[in-house]
Amino acid sequence: MLDRRDVVARLLKDRDEALVITGLGAATYDVAAAGDDARNFYLWGAMGGAALMGLGLALARPDRPVVVITGDGEQLMGIGAFATIAVQAPANLTIVVLDNGLYGETGGQRSHTSGGTDLAAVARGCGIAAASRVTDQAGVEALAATIAKPTCGLRVVVIAVDPTEAPRVLPSRDGAYVRGRFQAALGLAA
C-alpha cells in the first residue's frame, strides 16, 4: 500500500511554481514533512475548506498550478465543494485526497470512505470528469509528471494510502504569518 509521506514527497519534488493548500490534520504534517515552503498554506482548522480555498486561489492566479492536499475526512465535510468547483472548472486546480479510510487525527475512527463512499465517483457525479482513484506508484508518478503544469484541467485524484500514522511534523500554526509569507512569495503586499 502507498505510504502517505512518500506520496506527498514525490508529488512535491517537482512542484516548480506550484502553490499548495493543505487540509487540517495529517495532510498538513505530510506537506510540512516534505519541506517547509513559503508557497505552502497550512490549514489547522476550517475543516471542509481546503479545496474551496484552492478554488479561490486558482481563480485569482490562473498562471500558477494550485494543488490542494487533504484527507478523506476533511473533504467529506466539504463534499459540496466538488459541485461548486465543477461549475468554475479552473484548469490550474488539482485536488489530491489522501484516503486512508479513517479520521486519523481524532483517533482513527472509520470514515465514510470505509463505508461505501467513493470520493472520485462523487466528484465525477458533481461534474468533475477528471476524477480518478490511484492505488499504485505508477498513478502517483503520472500525477507527479504534470503537477507543475497550470493547464492540465481541473482534476480530483483520490489516492488510497496506508492507514498507518506517520510521526507528526508541525509547521507554523500562526495563520497570519503563513498568510503574509505566502503573499510575499507571490509579490503581494500582505
Ligand X SMILES: Cc1ncc(C[n+]2csc(CCOP(=O)(O)OP(=O)(O)O)c2C)c(N)n1
Residue pair 148/65 in contact by the 8 Å Cβ criterion: yes
Residue pair 97/73 in contact by the 8 Å Cβ criterion: no
Closest CA to 18 of 52, 54, 49: 54
Sign of CA dihedral 129, 163, 53, 49: positive
By the rule CB under 6 A, 2 interacts with ligand X: no
By the rule CB under 6 A, 104 interacts with ligand X: yes
By the rule CB under 8 A, 88 interacts with other proteins: yes
Binding site for Mg ion (CB under 5 A): 71-73, 100
Residue nearer to ligand X on the CB measure, 98 or 156: 98
By the rule CB under 8 A, 58 interacts with other proteins: yes
Sign of CA dihedral 45, 2, 54, 119: negative
Helices marked H in 68-186: 72-77, 81-88, 119-125, 137-146, 175-185
Segment lying near ligand X (by CB under 6 A), choices 58-66, 82-90, 103-111, 145-153:
103-111
By the rule CB under 8 A, 13 interacts with other proteins: no
Residue nearer to ligand X on the CB measure, 106 or 138: 106
Contact residue for other proteins among 52, 91, 152, 166 (CB under 8 A)? 52
Residue nearer to ligand X on the CB measure, 144 or 158: 158
**Rule CB under 8 A: which of 129-158 touch other proteins?**
none
Grid coordinates given for 27: 495532510
**Rule CB under 6 A: which of 35-94 touch ligand X?**
45, 47, 71-74
Closest CA to 93 of 56, 119, 132, 67: 67
By the rule CB under 8 A, 176 interacts with other proteins: yes
Sign of CA dihedral 186, 20, 149, 13: positive
**Contact set with ligand X (CB under 6 A):** 23-27, 45, 47, 71-74, 98, 100, 102-106, 111
